[in-house]
A = this chain, B = another copy of it.
Amino acid sequence: MPPTKRVCVLGSGNWGSTAARIIGNNVLRLPDFDDRVNIWVYEELVNGRKLTEIINTQHENVKYLPGHRLPDNVTAVADAREAVRGATHIVVVIPHQFVQDLLATIRGTVDPGARAISLIKGIAISSEGMTTMTQIIHRALGIPVASLSGANIADEIAEEKYCETTIGCRDAADAAAWRSLFDTSYFQVNCVADVVGVEFCGALKNVVAVGAGFIDGLGLGNNTKAAIIRIGFLEMRRLAMHLSGAQIQDATFMESCGMADVITTCYGGRNRRLAEEFVKTGKRMSQLEQELLNGQKLQGYLTAGEVYSYIESRGIAEHFPLFTNIYQICYQGRHPRSIFDGLNVDFSRDAATPTPTPAPNHHHHNH
């Protein structure tokens, strides 16, 4: 039987290149999948040479994942339509601000029987509720879309340091296929049915990381940071209960995308770092983005603003003192020390939507 499935990775940054590396190795052992994995590369010149050409000859993304060889069966393609043609499994891993344009480009080319998975962090919350990346991709392409998120700093995965991730996928057979593409001995995949919960955790943890960065900026210690992580985690879970229609499952918070990603982001991430500098320098977030990140936009403080709009419009801000304090410190000039105001909230009766008994074998393990 010839292989009937083929993977395309849309995006070739740090995380996209890392994902292509894992998938490129895994497909060689999966008889259902064509060996060739296309990776769509936004074409640019690196030292006068096209990046696609470098990847296809040197088998290394010298700009975004230097020092790690990509398997020979990963092929860089500069035209997104060409890259996606014939793909049954589409991995979307580009900066969120470019998603709409890319979806418009590939819309007519994507196979109607294909499936997608989103590795993009970023949700939009308004007074109406939440829109997630899987929802945006599904509306544009009309195909099922899964999500992947976890305690996954890309460089550490590229170095094959052990970690876990969570795939949210409603269909058990689809989940098994995605897992077979991503799971390795050092990158352990757990699957849950809660697509949106995985995305929610991946976005909201950045707000908690802003709070953790304030603690670092204030020169406080491990006790204090652990308190902020705990309260932030519980406000995330409480927000999930309140977000109308989201139906996020409580158990999702215990997966890598939840608890583990909150911890790793509060100790190592860029949102944390920006918030620390915010306290130490007194500069605005946007100015620090220019100075420290070449103008790259971070999610944490933007999501904090969206979350506050939601809880304020619903009249429930008082139940989210940490999120409220973080918002007011970022946007209204309150002193970072006010992060502790009113944090004595009772979370003991909270839970997001209770987790239903899963279908047999849905929470897979393949070792």
Report A's interface with B, CB cutoff 8 A. Answer: 151-153, 156-157, 159, 161-164, 185, 188, 190, 192, 220-227, 229-230, 233-234, 251, 254-256, 259-261, 263-264, 267-268, 340, 342-349, 355, 357-358, 363, 365-367
Contacts and interface: CB of A to CB of B under 8 A. Distances in A.
Given A230-B259, A259-B230, A348-B192, A342 B367 contact: yes
A164 to B, nearest CB: 5
Nearest to A344: B365
Contacts of A222: 151, 153, 156, 263-264, 267-268
A164 B230 contact: yes
A221 B164 contact: no
Given A161-B221, A355-B348, A227 B151 contact: yes
A171 to B, nearest CB: 17
A187 to B, nearest CB: 9
Contact of A349 (B157, B159, B259, B357): B357
A229 B153 contact: no
Nearest to A164: B227
B267 A223 contact: no
13 contacts: A161-B221, A185-B340, A190-B348, A222-B264, A222-B267, A227-B256, A230-B263, A234-B254, A259-B259, A346-B363, A348-B355, A348-B358, A349-B358
Contacts of A151: 222-223, 226-227, 230
A318 B302 CA distance: 44
Contacts of A233: 259
B365 A254 contact: no
A229 B161 contact: no
Contacts of A159: 221
A186 to B, nearest CB: 8
Contacts of A357: 349
Contact of A260 (B226, B344, B366): B226
Nearest to A155: B221
Given A259-B259, A264-B222, A163 B227 contact: yes
Contact of A221 (B153, B192, B342): B153
Nearest to A347: B254
Nearest to A152: B223
